[in-house]
Structure 1
């Protein structure tokens, strides 16, 4: 990620005439800038996960789909933890229906989200969450 997270990305996007997307910059770093400009020998699946972990471009690989969900689970729960730690909100301020579905603590939410993805992806050709969990996650 860029310095100062997504806020830093927004500022860089405004300053750069060609725009700035941290996921595209990350792919550029691993493909061209690392190892004294030789790049890293990463598979298509790893690069797909880096490029598509956020934004409008959907991943084309199962690995990329997993990374996209992992990123979403991480940032939602870390943002909530940061807001609670900063005294901006308390866990009780979260929508009750979301807590009923996802869980009432960060560790329970993370576990339930992962289990839901596993249960809904098993024997499927895509990595997915149930509609109920997706909607509750989006509300948070």
Structure 2
């Protein structure tokens, strides 16, 4: 009987943690793709599309279809944690922390560290944090 309660509690815990992640479900992806016409909402490109949080996840944005949009890789990387695509000088987001710095979930004290704006060799966004004025960590 204890094993059943343990298993049920683990399942409930994992579901609640999963629901608060930045993961975008397949259903949401299909809805957003159809709604956005399969094109980047900034530049109109059909290539290298990514699902972007309109209100950044790091600023409290959720992963509902109403907060997800299609952006090409270049526009999404340019937008980063802001509201603007720096390549095309267009507003592609809302409620972008309103100028506040973000903090990690492990260090909830106020911090001026932000996510590195560099990319890895595979083209993914660097996950390191930096206090450098350049916005890049020591690897970039």
- TM-score using structure 2 length: 0.29
Instruction: Please give the TM-score of this superposition, normalised by the length of structure 1.
Output: 0.29
Higher helix proportion, which one? Answer: 1
From the two aligned structures, give the one with the greater strand fraction.
2
